[in-house]
Amino acid sequence: MTFADYQNEVYLNGLAGQTPAYPVGWQELEAAGQAAMTPQALGYVAGGAGGEDTMRANREAFDRWRLVPRMLRGIPAQRDLSTTVLGTAMAAPVLLGPVGVLQIVHPEAELAVARAAASVGLPMVLSTAASTTLEEVAAATSDAGRWYQLYWPKDRELAASFVQRAERAGYGAVVVTLDTWQLGWRPRDLDTAYLPFLQSQGIQQYLADPVFRSRLDRTPEEDPVAAVLQWVGLFADPSLTWDDIAWLREQTSLPVVLKGIQHPDDARRAVDTGAAAVICSNHGGRQVDGATGSLDALPGVVAAAGELPVLFDSGVRTGADAVKALALGAAAVLLGRPYVYGLALGGEDGVRHVLRTFLADFDLQLGLSGHGSVADLSPASLVRRD
């Protein structure tokens, strides 16, 4: 069975009067998912920086690149989309990107996402800002591929503890987010005066960490306010430079991936630091307003990175989006907001629905555009429309 066969499953179920439990189109899914959220959760998940111009730029960048279908190329009906990135096997070149504080969307939070991802063979990148500890997620999906995303705190011993915990728990890589050493200006969150971390939501990695706990006079259970205030003082380190990556690499044997690269010079610096891969990303438009669309930045980052794998996120919504990013040189794409909308609608089942529809769309777009495998994709598969 291939991912594209999900289409047949849906149509056959229709003969029995069954339609999909959740929307299939990404815009309909987004609308339904947003309607299922509280106003505070909606602002946190759906919002972006400033006037949200970067969010729009991400989608506009995909619109500028157009697929050029080719015919009569003997495309196999059974396409194998599986790949391996940094030693992590995945059923398709797709990962679930790190999204924090998922308890505000659904009570099963990251556990539901992790189980759904594992069920279709995709790795999950677990956020430092998760509502569930990395050990709990690992225990729930012991055989699944997973990476750990690091928000680098001011306390070096705490940073080392985070990545070493991830290594012991079986995570396959450390993804360092570079673009969030301070929260961006997010009007939707400001309108509701809502920052979930101040309510002890999304700081569970910290509360469970022995180094973090050792810095407190009383345990987080005894004095949750003091724990939150300590988190405020430690969340991120604006003083970091490229030279600090060498220190992090000494703390773990896991490959270190740098997320948030948009400029070719930064890709070259990543190579020089010994990074194992980079992620071309603008944080889904949540940090810098008026920034370039991530897909527009991708070709330059790929060229500058040389042999270093480049992954991609920000604005991915459809299978065609994934095909375009892979054609421009990405080794894999990361999916973000769409699976969160699935979580809001139906927990684990909702996430699984989103992943199955995305993978079916991706599989079909790849074949129908004349490509028998992901390896067949190249910039020649596209044309740029200015």
Asked if 283 is an active-site residue, the reply is yes
Q: Where are the beta strands (DSSP E) in the chain?
A: 65-67, 83-85, 88-90, 94-96, 124-126, 146-150, 174-177, 256-261, 277-280, 310-312, 332-335, 382-384
Q: How far apart are CA 163 and CA 155, in angstroms?
A: 13
Q: How far apart are CA 365 and CA 358, in angstroms?
A: 10
Q: Which structure tokens are listed for 178?
A: 């570079």
**Catalytic residue of the set 106, 263, 283, 371:** 283
End-to-end CA distance of the chain: 39
- Decide if 194 contacts 174 (C-beta within 8 A): no
Q: What is the DSSP string of 212-231?
A: HHHT-SS-TTT-HHHHHHHH
CA 361-365-368 angle, to 5 degrees, is 135
- Alpha carbon 29 to its chain's center: 18
Sign for the CA dihedral angle at 270, 272, 275, 277 comes to: positive
Residues labelled catalytic: 283
